[in-house]
């Protein structure tokens, strides 16, 4: 008897939503990239945060493309492009004004059978796939919508459109599994909820609480970077409130969460500092320097541990050391924070004349201004004051070393 023909299991088709994002500030260069790929017979879509932000009526930071074309093919099609990344190769297509359209080949999540036992952590996500698999390997449903430029349709493989309309953050699939695969997604859920003012569904919220411990196993530079993103985008107060409420802060910055629990007032200075930071970030439309952000976040507990200490630098260093280890805080940032905290009382007393000549002063002054405003003092610097930037702190030594390399 002939063997029974196995029916090929077709992937369930996506839902297509007619939406014209062209009306809504869809980037013309991103459209150009998609069109050229299509003309050469490849599949290509605008994907990710850009589509999400347009659907939520926000200004996207950037636009990414996903395509069936391999990196070398994309590179060949665009003269003004370069391949980046060693493990996962993507193509940056460059346009005038420094604009970059990131173009990535569809990839799929690694096979679960390749993973060991109960360990779900993804270590290698560098396998090409098709459009459907590429949507499914993404983190949240709102981040997995593909925009079809030619047909003016949002292609939804994962139920993201109802979540855009309902304004909620939901993982694609079981949140516990998705957070165990990559714990940094916990911080991303907090970031999107806070920044885009979206709800978190109860199952995702519970999974954050349940899986928060696995953040201790995530790559430390990624943790530091995601924490900075929580501070940079004008939603620091909501982000850290959520992180505190879910116990995520107990894992990442127990020093700060202990301080918050001890001070136990809902409208404490830490929250007022973060609110003031958010206000000013939105006002100037640009993030503050990493040193300013990191100093502000830890300012209150740092002031507490250094109060009355003769060796303020030493006391600040002892406080910061475990944090630097846990989160891989760059030395440059940690050193600057320590030095700002050391001279902070002088700054508050208006006696920082000697220090005013150092490049650190502008950063310290921004911290001080935000702190003063958070405590209810009127502003003392004009709005057009120059913006502080810690890259000046690198100094000539560092620059020389770089050139030699
Ligand atoms: P932002 O506006 O902050 O840049 P974004 O959604 O563009 O938000 P990116 O970090 O730039 O976020 O990532 C681009 C896309 O890659 C996301 O929209 C998401 O689809 C996918 N992605 C990013 N990080 C992860 C992750 N840890 N796990 C799965 N998918 C991810
Ligand atoms: Mg992005």
In the predicted structure, residue 12 carries a pLDDT above the cut 90: no
Between strands 100-105 and 146-148, the pairing is: unpaired
In the predicted structure, residue 2 carries a pLDDT above the cut 50: no
Q: What number is the average pLDDT over the span 237-262?
A: 96
Q: What number is the average pLDDT over the span 304-311?
A: 91
Say what percent of the chain tops pLDDT 70: 86
Break the chain into its structural domains and give their ranges.
Answer: 15-167, 229-392
Q: CB-based burial of residue 202 (10 Å sphere; 0-12 exposed, 13-18 middle, 19+ buried)?
A: exposed
Is ligand 1 within 6 A of the CB of residue 272? Answer: no
Supply the residues annotated as catalytic: 62, 64, 139
Identify the pLDDT of residue 40: 98
Tens digits of per-residue pLDDT, 18-32? Answer: 999 976 689 999 999
Q: Hey, is 319 helix, strand or coil?
A: helix
Closest CA to ligand 1's atom 1: 49
Closest atom, ligand 1, to C-alpha of 50: 7
Between strands 100-105 and 64-67, the pairing is: parallel
Is ligand 1 within 6 A of the CB of residue 234? Answer: no
Global pTM exceeds 0.75: yes
Q: Which residues pair with 17 in a beta bridge?
A: 154
Say what percent of the chain tops pLDDT 90: 75
- What's the Cα-to-Cα distance from 285 to each of 232, 281, 338, rounded to whole Å? 10, 6, 27
Ligand 1 center to residue 138 CA distance, Å? 7
User: What CA–CA distance (Å, rounded) separates 300 from 298?
Assistant: 6
Structure tokens at 176: 């516990």
Identify the pLDDT of residue 335: 94
Q: Which residues pair with 82 in a beta bridge?
A: 92
Tens digits of per-residue pLDDT, 320-367? Answer: 999 999 999 999 999 999 999 998 998 998 887 777 778 889 999 999
Is ligand 1 within 6 A of the CB of residue 160? Answer: no
Q: Pick the more confident residue, 403 or 114.
A: 114
Give the helix ranges, DSSP H, for 130-219.
Answer: 131-136, 160-166, 175-181, 184-196, 202-211
Identify the pLDDT of residue 262: 85
Ligand 1 center to residue 365 CA distance, Å? 34
List, in sequence order, every beta strand (DSSP E) within 29-105: 44-47, 64-67, 81-84, 90-94, 100-105
Ligand nearest to the CA of 173: 1
What single-letter DSSP state applies at residue 270? H
* Max CA pair span of the chain: 95
Identify the pLDDT of residue 10: 53
Tens digits of per-residue pLDDT, 184-243? Answer: 999 999 999 999 999 999 999 999 999 999 999 999 999 999 999 999 999 999 999 999
CATH superfamily of 15-167: Beta Polymerase, domain 2 (3.30.460.10)
Is ligand 1 within 6 A of the CB of residue 108? Answer: no
């Amino acid at each position: 008897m002939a063997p029974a023909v196995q029916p090929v299991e077709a992937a369930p088709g996506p839902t297509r939503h007619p939406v014209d994002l062209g009306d809504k500030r869809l980037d013309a260069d991103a459209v150009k990239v998609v069109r050229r790929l299509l003309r050469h017979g490849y599949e290509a879509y605008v994907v990710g945060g850009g589509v999400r932000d347009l659907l939520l009526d926000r200004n996207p930071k950037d636009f990414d493309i996903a395509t069936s074309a391999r990196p070398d093919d994309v590179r060949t099609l665009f003269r003004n492009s370069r391949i980046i990344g060693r493990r996962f190769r993507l193509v940056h297509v460059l346009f005038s004004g420094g604009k970059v359209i990131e173009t990535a080949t569809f990839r799929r999540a690694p096979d679960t059978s390749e993973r060991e036992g109960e360990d779900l952590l993804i270590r290698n996500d560098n396998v090409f796939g098709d459009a459907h698999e590429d949507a499914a390997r993404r983190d949240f449903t709102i981040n997995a919508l593909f925009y079809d430029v030619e047909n003016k349709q949002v292609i939804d493989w994962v139920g993201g459109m109802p979540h855009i309309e309902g304004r909620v953050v939901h993982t694609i699939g079981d949140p516990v599994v998705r957070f165990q695969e990559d714990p940094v997604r916990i911080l991303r859920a907090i970031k999107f909820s806070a920044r885009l003012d979206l709800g978190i569904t109860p199952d995702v919220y519970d999974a954050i609480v349940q899986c928060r411990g696995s953040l201790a196993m995530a790559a430390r530079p990624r943790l530091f970077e995601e924490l900075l993103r929580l501070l940079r985008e004008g939603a620091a107060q909501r982000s850290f409130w959520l992180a505190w409420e879910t116990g995520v802060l107990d894992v990442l910055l127990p020093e700060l969460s202990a301080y918050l629990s001890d001070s136990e007032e809902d409208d404490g200075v830490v929250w007022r500092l973060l609110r003031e930071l958010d206000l000013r970030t939105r006002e100037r439309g640009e993030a503050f320097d990493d040193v300013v952000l990191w100093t502000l976040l830890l300012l209150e507990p740092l002031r507490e541990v250094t109060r009355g200490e003769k060796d303020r630098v030493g006391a600040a260093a002892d406080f910061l050391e475990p944090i630097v280890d846990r989160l891989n805080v760059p030395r440059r940032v940690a050193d600057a924070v320590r030095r700002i905290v050391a001279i902070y009382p002088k700054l508050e007393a208006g006696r920082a004349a000697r220090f005013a000549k150092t490049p650190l002063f502008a950063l310290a002054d921004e911290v001080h201004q935000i702190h003063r405003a958070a405590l209810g003092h009127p502003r003392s610097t004009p709005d057009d004051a120059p913006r502080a930037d810690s890259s000046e702190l690198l100094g000539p030594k560092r620059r020389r070393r770089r050139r030699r390399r």
